[in-house]
Structure 1
Amino acid sequence: MLPFRFIHAADLHLDTPFSGMSGVPEQLRQYLQGSTFAALGGLVDLAISEEVDFIVISGDVYDASESSLRAQLRLREAWERLGQHGIPVYVIHGNHDPLNSRRLRLAHPPHVTIFGAKVESINATRRSDGETVAVVSGISYPSAAVMENTSLQFRRDLASKLYHIGLLHANVDGQEGHDAYSPCSLRDLQNTGYDYWALGHIHKRQVLSQSPWIIYPGNIQGRSLKETGPKGCYVVDVGENGEANPIFHELDHVRWSEIEISIERLLTEEDWKEAVEEQIEELRENSVGRLQVVRITFTGRGPLHSLLQSGRESGELLQELRRRENVRLQGSENGVGSLGSIVWLAGVKVATGMDIDTSTLLQEDSFLGELFRLSARAEGDIELLDSIVESALAPLMDNSTLRGLLKEEGANSNTKLELLRRAQELASSLLVEVDSRGGMGQ
């Protein structure tokens, strides 16, 4: 087998609108809206510098089915740059940009292959000598919602000794938080005999298997606080023995982060303010030229809990930190070039607890002790957790609007755990307050 190198990317979501963020200066807003295009440019730069033989893109090139002309022109520009360096591109379309999308269709250059609504295969060659090195197969979504297991249409050509790469936009093993489009199992993919599965649809980077390689690269640019951490693509080297070595490369120009600050050792408001400022400066030092968008969650138990519960202090600190970043932005001589030093605070969240000894309370024969013991059991027992949450929310289910919101927000176990913990803290705060006034005993 001849050695070769390719890039696996997915979920470009070009021209994402980034709606829903408030209080953002116009300069930052424009930078956010251009970040998917900047990541695309980085993908092209990487392909050229790494001298890859070809690129595979596993769906959702555009963010919306009615993609903007701007998105199509920027993509065409990227294709042309790759063509100038002799780098072919193999693309499938997903649920965000299905084949039946209503949009002006610009012609693709001849070195760009768009797979159709049935599995198609094409021989990929090595740029240096034109030798065939791999079989690339893929299938695009004909419409936005594909509910069948399309992985069953893939079958390796057993007579071929070439490396086989499959492009699929799918939800493998029913991952939470994503539509169950083109649902399949890990076993389905392994049974096809393919050497590498280039997946798309799930925006969290994951290596599901190494034999064969089955990989979600995630999207190339995070778009909200639901998509935190480094975003990018894989450069994959395939050796003469057929062994692959995928290496992740960061492409994002905006890094979304969730950080936690515990109040356990913070005794005063000054301690609290300094802890926040230290975290902001640490993020700034490690930004490597990327705009940082951050949400801070305050956790732990301590004397500042009651102060933070009102939300006033954290809200005022949020506004002050935003003001400082705005001053930093406006005072820069380089304008947009300064955005790599900006740490924009998207919000704060208070998930603190009362300054009480929970280990002692768990042993205490009291109503509050029983409350904490029940909560502790529910955290390790999904059925009990479901029962508690469903029972508590039952009175709200008669309202259709609330019912829809609750079903949407409370569908996964993490959300239910958060609801349980917040209820526990609220109840304990009220109980201790009543107890302190002499209105409640053991």
Structure 2
Amino acid sequence: MKFLHGADLHLDRSFEGLTNVKNAFQPYLMEANQKMLENIVDLAIAEDVDFVLLAGDTFHQHRPTLKTQQHFFAQMNRLAEKNIPVVMNFGNHDYYQSQRYWFDFPENMQLFTDETVATKKLQLKNGQEIAISSFSFDGPIIEAEKIDQFPRKTSNFHIGMYHGGQFPYAPFTTSKLAEKGYDYWALGHIHVPQMVSEMPPAYYSGTPLGHTKKEKNLAGVLLVEELAGKIKLQKVPVAPVVWQELTISLKEIRRSNQLLPYLVSRIAMTQPTLIQLKLTDNPTLAEEIQYQLASGELLETLNTSLPAEIFVTEVAFTSTTNERHYLAVDECLVDQLLTTYQSEAVFTEQLAEVNPKLQELLTADFQTEVLQNVQEKIKQAYRFRREKDVD
């Protein structure tokens, strides 16, 4: 026996926290929810699964748009044509209200539409009968635990499908799952994929498509196979767009005109990707990089230079590095150079070149402080030749 466990598809949900998305990337976002659902159906058909479980929040809201409904039912009919049953409950986002649906649920679908726990039977192609127990949200919250309403195991293979886990969204106590004797618990509501219990197997499949930058490293859907009484799980990604954090060291970059080509060469993805980019290790160009980041031009220019299927959502830069650049001169040279600027006339002349009004700041204390700061920064940024370095 083989089935798919999916949850929290949140069809109709938009991607959050994105601004100034380039035109070339917009189609990937607009079509992501539809493509994700198509990928799930494609997988179910390709694997010839016995059934599909949708464990709540299939829709992002309790009043799905007509466009979303139409696409969803078209995909469910694809499964009906392959005689693949779908068992579905409704969560806190898409809590069930029958009048919201403008299309008929196909005959291959069995729905839990009430907050009272019920049990449905499925007859598989090989003649095996299985039981699935579940409930649905009729409103946005359920404060009480529902686990006590679940019957004990009644079939050779019994599945519990439960959307919730945290107050006020149908909380449950993990220890009570084992009391029911079920063979598998298909959980929904938590977007991060996780195992709640190994025995009995109880899993949150997580959301298949990340709609915010926090939703990374997703499992997709779970392909569950029962072999000789043992459960085997496989995580199958189905997201057409993913989020990724990427850190790029700029240690090798010496000039600003090297920066953009280097970044473009280092950012290569195999599918449409939203990237949070972090740049490190370049104190030499730190001021210029920070300036271009503050103006927004580095982010904009980078995105226009990258392929259409890549969009950088944000860029952060840290110039801290454990390595100081090496200069093949003695450290005493720094003191010798600064000695020149200890002359009041030379120091005043340099201030005037920057801005004539800065001469008004000139005092003995100001000059001393500036030269000390320059000396400290130079010695912090560079390593110098020592006597033993000299041949």
- In the superposition, the TM-score normalised over structure 1's length comes to 0.67
Q: Aligned letter for 1:223?
A: H
Match of 2:207 among 213, 219, 225: 219
Q: CA deviation at 1:296?
A: 0.5
Cα deviation digits, residues 13-48 of structure 1 (max 9, x gap): 112233653222445323312211111111111111
Matched-pair contact (CA < 8 Å) for 1:204–1:219 = yes
Q: Give the distance between the partners of 1:13 and 1:54, measured in 2 at CA.
A: 20
Larger Rg: 2
- Structure 1 equivalent of residue 337 of structure 2: none
Cα deviation digits, residues 53-85 of structure 1 (max 9, x gap): 111111011111221011111111111111111
Q: Give the distance between the partners of 2:286 and 2:173, measured in 1 at CA.
A: 45
Matched-pair contact (CA < 8 Å) for 1:263–1:302 = no
- Structure 2 equivalent of residue 194 of structure 1: 182
Alignment of 1:20-419 (within 5 A): 20-26=17-23, 28-100=25-97, 103-115=100-112, 116-127=114-125, 129-132=126-129, 134-157=130-153, 160-171=154-165, 181-240=169-228, 242-263=229-250, 268-269=255-256, 272-273=259-260, 275-281=262-268, 283=269, 287=270, 290-299=271-280, 302-310=283-291, 312=293, 315-325=296-306, 329=308, 342-350=309-317, 352=318, 354-355=320-321
Q: CA deviation at 1:199?
A: 0.9
More divergent stretch after superposition (264-273 vs 135-144): 264-273
In structure 1, list runs of 5 or more residues that go unmatched.
330-341, 358-431
Cα deviation digits, residues 105-161 of structure 1 (max 9, x gap): 43212221111211111122222x3331x211111111112222223322323xx35
Matched-pair contact (CA < 8 Å) for 2:280–2:320 = no
Q: CA deviation at 1:197?
A: 1.1
Q: Give the distance between the partners of 2:14 and 2:86, measured in 1 at CA.
A: 26
- In the superposition, the TM-score normalised over structure 2's length comes to 0.75
Judging by fraction of residues, say which structure has more helix.
1
Q: CA deviation at 1:294?
A: 1.1
Q: Aligned letter for 1:319?
A: E
Q: Give the distance between the partners of 1:355 and 1:227, measured in 2 at CA.
A: 30
3-state SS, counterpart of residue 25 of structure 2: helix
Residue 234 and residue 356 in structure 1: after superposition, are their counterparts in 2 closer, same or farther (change >3 A)? closer
Cα deviation digits, residues 238-258 of structure 1 (max 9, x gap): 023x21101111111112212
Q: Give the distance between the partners of 1:140 and 1:435, measured in 2 at CA.
A: 70
Match of 1:436 among 373, 378, 389: 373
Q: Give the distance between the partners of 1:433 and 1:191, measured in 2 at CA.
A: 74
Over the aligned positions, Cα root-mean-square deviation in angstroms equals: 3.0
Cα deviation digits, residues 338-380 of structure 1 (max 9, x gap): xxxx211122123x254578xxxxxxxxxxxxxxxxxxxxxxx
3-state SS, counterpart of residue 21 of structure 2: coil
3-state SS, counterpart of residue 100 of structure 2: coil
Cα deviation digits, residues 149-180 of structure 1 (max 9, x gap): 223322323xx351221111123xx5xxxx75
Q: Give the distance between the partners of 2:257 and 2:216, measured in 1 at CA.
A: 29
Matched-pair contact (CA < 8 Å) for 1:6–1:54 = yes
Q: CA deviation at 1:265?
A: 6.2
Q: Aligned letter for 2:34?
A: F
